[in-house]
Structure 1
């Protein structure tokens, strides 16, 4: 029975009882009203209000839980669904809401997968062009500068040597950007080698002191799951180097009972009251693609800690 009919029938029953008492019982209403008559009327009104309050409290409790779920639901942080309780239309409403969440999460997952796949393809294309086009052009410029410098007068030769060093530095930077766009170490040498190269590169270009720990018996992860672990580590380390003001960073890749856990911890200023930016949201979207769980928060001794748990069997 729907909530409307239950409230309506309860009110009708109370009013019917009151009418029968007035019609068939010894109770009458005098003018002016006697004390006993007033007490009976007040008692009937109180009984009706209490009955309505109890029914509404019990009947609308599932709606309060549904309202709380509506205000706290985040598609990037899937949580338990509201329990399908209540009667009539309330249970149908909660079930419809849960079905809508399932559909929205599935659609968001599909769209995020397509967007991230397109992003990886674009990164691969840009990295290839940087390596093949810009890299080869700068290499040719370096060779030409060397040839000219070998035949140039001494004052000009020194200036050409400086131009060579600048060009060589630009070539190294382009190669570094290309490696970040397309992690060749991940494809050729595996996840651990790619993470070692990533931390070595970041420590060489910043003041961070990096400590690494890798369990020796890590389970096999799928290609997509390894890419997710690498990209999450890359984003977390980049955020630490750029924004955290940290001096030390720890990266650990360990085995769990049902998968692999990546943990990145720094001693920087922490997140504070700042809202999550596009980088962290991107990490959450990547984690959802492989059924992983991502937690970003303060570390046990300050700073920021990023934990990614990837279950075994991820793609």
Structure 2
């Protein structure tokens, strides 16, 4: 029955009942007697309460749907309001759930294309840094060394200082290029890439401890890249914001696939809103259908858990369709 007729009939029943009582045993004198006023007041209150309860029951599914609309987040897929009620109300909730399915599919497809384009741009920039800027600075270093060897002692000492500064800049450019394009991930695998990443982030202020299992299920390139990027973003947040003294990076096997866990003993997330880095981690998790959990650690600080399922042939074909082009070749070393 449509919602309009349900509410109309409920109110009609109440009004017909009241009319029948007035035509039957209930009478009103002029002037109104105290007992008659009491009976009419009690009857009116009962009719209002009954009408309110009936309308509340009829509209309760719409209120639940409104709460779901206000709390839904496309970066946390899978949440759906239960289809309840009758007629138009049930159809409205079912249509809303169908719309969410379509939006999440479109979001996943667009995210996959954006991340593929982003990785291609990272590789292009890393290659230009390595081939253009790196080779130019290498030539400058050689020229500085030749000039310093031929210069007077005082000028030679100054040139050697400039040479050391240039060498430090060249090392920093190479480090940036490695972070933009993790060549060790493509050449040596995920475990070696995480070891190098932990070594890069370890310092006197924060020590990164590793716990990597060797018996891991095979993963495709997209899953390994998501694991690496989430670990990279998590360690970057730890180094910049957490003020942690120690962090633990673990990669373990689970019944669902592979789990990456990053814990630190820093200040934690608190009530701060999620920034672009955390949203990027959630988008990358959606890219491979992974489950990402962010929250406080068991002993304070922050814990990041990313569970990546083992890819299936169907999901691999879906990823191949969403890529914007062929996979770029790694830059030459």
For 1:289, the equivalent position in structure 2 comes to: 287
Task: Check whether the contact 1:258–1:311 (CA below 8 A) recurs between aligned residues.
Answer: yes
For 2:327, the equivalent position in structure 1 comes to: none
For 1:238, the equivalent position in structure 2 comes to: 236
Task: Check whether the contact 1:7–1:52 (CA below 8 A) recurs between aligned residues.
Answer: no
For 1:219, the equivalent position in structure 2 comes to: 217
How far has the Cα of 1:22 moved from its partner?
3.5
Gaps of 5+ in 1: none
Q: Distance in 2 between matches of 1:27 and 1:57?
A: 29
Higher relative contact order (CA 8 A, sep 6+): 2
How far has the Cα of 1:127 moved from its partner?
0.2
Task: Check whether the contact 1:11–1:48 (CA below 8 A) recurs between aligned residues.
Answer: no
Gaps of 5+ in 2: 317-333
- The answer to which of 9-18 and 163-172 deviates more is 9-18
- The answer to which of 48-57 and 179-188 deviates more is 48-57
Q: Distance in 1 between matches of 2:50 and 2:281?
A: 51
CA displacement 1:249-291 (0-9 Å, x = unmatched)? 1000011111111000111111112111100000000001111
* SS in structure 1 at match of 2:202: helix
For 1:118, the equivalent position in structure 2 comes to: 117
2:57 is the counterpart of 1:58: yes
How far has the Cα of 1:40 moved from its partner?
4.5
Q: Distance in 2 between matches of 1:10 and 1:154?
A: 103
Task: Check whether the contact 2:72–2:79 (CA below 8 A) recurs between aligned residues.
Answer: no
* SS in structure 1 at match of 2:178: helix
* Inter-CA distance 26–176: structure 2 relative to 1 (3 Å threshold): closer
How far has the Cα of 1:229 moved from its partner?
0.4
Q: Distance in 2 between matches of 1:103 and 1:26?
A: 59
Q: In angstroms, what is the RMSD of aligned CA positions?
A: 1.7
Map residues 1-315 of structure 1 onto 2, 5 A cutoff.
1-23=1-23, 25-35=24-34, 37-204=36-203, 207-313=205-311, 315=316
How many equivalent residue pairs? 313
TM-score w.r.t. the length of structure 1 is 0.94
TM-score w.r.t. the length of structure 2 is 0.89
Q: Distance in 2 between matches of 1:68 and 1:79?
A: 16
